Structure 1
Amino acid sequence: MHDDQVDVTPEIVAVLIQEQFPRWSGKAIRLVPSAGTVNAIFRIGDDLSARFPLRLADAAEALEALEKEAEASAELVKVSPVPVPEPVALGGPGAGYPMPWSVQTWLPGTVASDADPSGSDAFAEDLAAFIAALRDVDTGGRLFSGDNRGGVLAHHDDWMAKCFEESEGLLDLPPLRQVWSRFRELPRTGADVMSHGDLIPGNVLVAGDRLSGVLDTGGFGPADPALDLVSAWHLLQPGPREVLRRTLACDDLEWERGKAWAFEQALGVVWYYVESNPTMSRMGRRTLDRILESME
């Protein structure tokens, strides 16, 4: 999926576990099929999972990032109304794998990209309850930092220009350019709140038509209150989408900003993963379609 991707095999994982965590060396190791784009996931027995960053990075910087993710995940465990993975351990480079990696608890369930809950009002209510619980957490004076989603929409102009350029021949660009020209001007009024930051189908677990867990929790932190509203467009059809909006009491501006963050994310994944990760690319197209339909 990435030019700088590092491949990981069950054999490499087995050696790393034997060398660094021998107490788990007797457990079965299985690669988890996933449309995820950041980590390769391996199950360790029935209760644990190991996450191996896919993109090559400086080992010291990668370790710092994993430590921050573990800290964020541990904070979210204490406040989440649904199960989320608990950080267990951090591993180091070895066996041909050049970076640190992490171990966390394994959550049962089916990701929403495989068990589509988009038409369920109950799922939308569960999702709203999760977002509300995170918003209720005190930021402790922390503010959004970094250059990812969750800060100022207009700061993403350069990225969006690249996305439009790369999407030539893939998407009908004139209406999409018009949409972004409007979205980037949406003003920010609310203070930062605690957010998950990436509520896409691959990070949401479903049992029946209900939310049963949330994955990829290392980004838990302060951001634009509208950021987690990307879930309305990535995960829900119009009826349940309105249930989520009503349950969270979103005003028009916050709702539009959530739509803008979903748009920014969707436009990027369409072209970037069109060949390497078709599931993600299709998700982006579907989200763009939902946004455009809502604006007709």
Structure 2
Amino acid sequence: MSSTGQRRPGPYPLDDDLVRRLIAGQFPHWAELPVERFPSGGTVNAMYRLGDDLVVRLPLVEGGAPDISLEQEWLPRLAPRLPMAVPEVLAAGEPAEGYPWPWSVYRWLAGENPQAGALGEPVLLAKDLAGFVTAMRSLTLRGAPAAYRGGPLASLDTATRAAVEELRGIPEEAVDCDAVAAVWEDALCTPGWDGPPVWLHADLMPGNLLVDGGRLTSVIDFGCMGVGDPACDLFPAWNLLPADARKVFREALDVDDATWTRGRARTLSQALIALPYHRRTNPTMAHNARHVIRAVLAEG
């Protein structure tokens, strides 16, 4: 995510008719299936239901195009090695009809996004999430890209500090900016990861998780995946899980203190940057950012 205060280009003007034309032109065997935009809090890609069993995923911004290519290359290799369902790429679309980027057709994965504060089985969900993260870390596939968020914590410093200062100017958000700045400062003194880089999903937001009966059934949106610091996949500890389930998640992953501190700081940084940008335009992202800030400060 770019630093606060920078103007970002708007999303590409996708609509149902354009998606129908793309499908008809490149995959005519699906041309008669109904197309309908699927509501999502995502900011990089749009999803369209294609009939009952398929979904089309298209970048909304130029930065999302490499994510599509990354998934097309790696998801078929990851899927058989992971304990939960992941998106299955059925077709790779190309730019056409004025639309400038690659896109994909996937098999539809049913389920609901979990909601922080309203989890049916938080402890079991914590164990499911730990199982997924463990499986990702155990991957040994060669040629892995660097994860989008896999670098050192200090690489986030400028954007994080700018976000804190921006939030100081938004008193209605009632963020304790001194407290979050202190958490961030302390984390910067934490030792970095000195082991080999591990495979990461690197974007374990509630909107990228699907649950049924409170249990994790699928993980979606692998556009940030790659290898890096294992702290990058600890996000659910603060963006989703309550304190007791957070402890179960940590114990199941056997996380050391330094990695836990880096994970908390990374999650906090993402929330601080997201809140001023999304507070008026994306209620889902803004709500989760507020939840993360409260959870981090409550943990002390």
2:81 corresponds to? 79
1:263 corresponds to? 268
2:252 corresponds to? 247
Taking the aligned partners of 2:120 and 2:90, their CA distance within structure 1 comes to 32
How many angstroms does 1:112 deviate by?
A: 1.4
1:216 corresponds to? 221
Taking the aligned partners of 1:73 and 1:161, their CA distance within structure 2 comes to 35
Taking the aligned partners of 1:176 and 1:289, their CA distance within structure 2 comes to 10
Runs of 4+ in structure 1 deviating by more than 6 angstroms, as ranges, are none
Contact 1:17 1:25 in 2 (8 A): yes
Paired residues in the alignment total 289
Taking the aligned partners of 1:208 and 1:160, their CA distance within structure 2 comes to 36
1:102 corresponds to? 104
Could you give the per-residue CA deviations for residues 194-229 of structure 1, whole angstroms, max 9, x where no partner exists?
111110100000101111111102333211011111
2:207 corresponds to? 202
Task: Report SS of the residue matched to 2:234.
Answer: helix
1:11 corresponds to? 17
Could you give the per-residue CA deviations for residues 102-125 of structure 1, whole angstroms, max 9, x where no partner exists?
221210101114994276211111
Q: Equivalent of 1:184, from 184, 188, 192?
A: 188
Note the aligned Cα RMSD (angstroms): 2.1
How many angstroms does 1:162 deviate by?
A: 2.5
1:231 corresponds to? 236
With structure 1 as the length reference, what TM-score do the two structures score? 0.91
Taking the aligned partners of 1:118 and 1:238, their CA distance within structure 2 comes to 15
1:111 corresponds to? 113
**One-letter code of the match for 1:180?**
W
Taking the aligned partners of 2:142 and 2:89, their CA distance within structure 1 comes to 22
Change beyond 3 A, Cα 1:277–1:125 = same
How many angstroms does 1:155 deviate by?
A: 1.3
Contact 1:117 1:210 in 2 (8 A): no
Taking the aligned partners of 1:95 and 1:159, their CA distance within structure 2 comes to 37
Task: Report SS of the residue matched to 1:31.
Answer: strand
Taking the aligned partners of 1:109 and 1:13, their CA distance within structure 2 comes to 24
How many angstroms does 1:256 deviate by?
A: 1.2
Change beyond 3 A, Cα 1:264–1:100 = same
Unmatched tracts of structure 1, length 5 or more: none
Task: Report SS of the residue matched to 2:146.
Answer: coil
Sequence identity percentage = 38
Contact 2:57 2:103 in 1 (8 A): yes
Unmatched tracts of structure 2, length 5 or more: 1-6
**One-letter code of the match for 2:285?**
M
Could you give the per-residue CA deviations for residues 218-245 of structure 1, whole angstroms, max 9, x where no partner exists?
3332110111111111110001111111
How many angstroms does 1:24 deviate by?
A: 0.5
How many angstroms does 1:73 deviate by?
A: 1.8
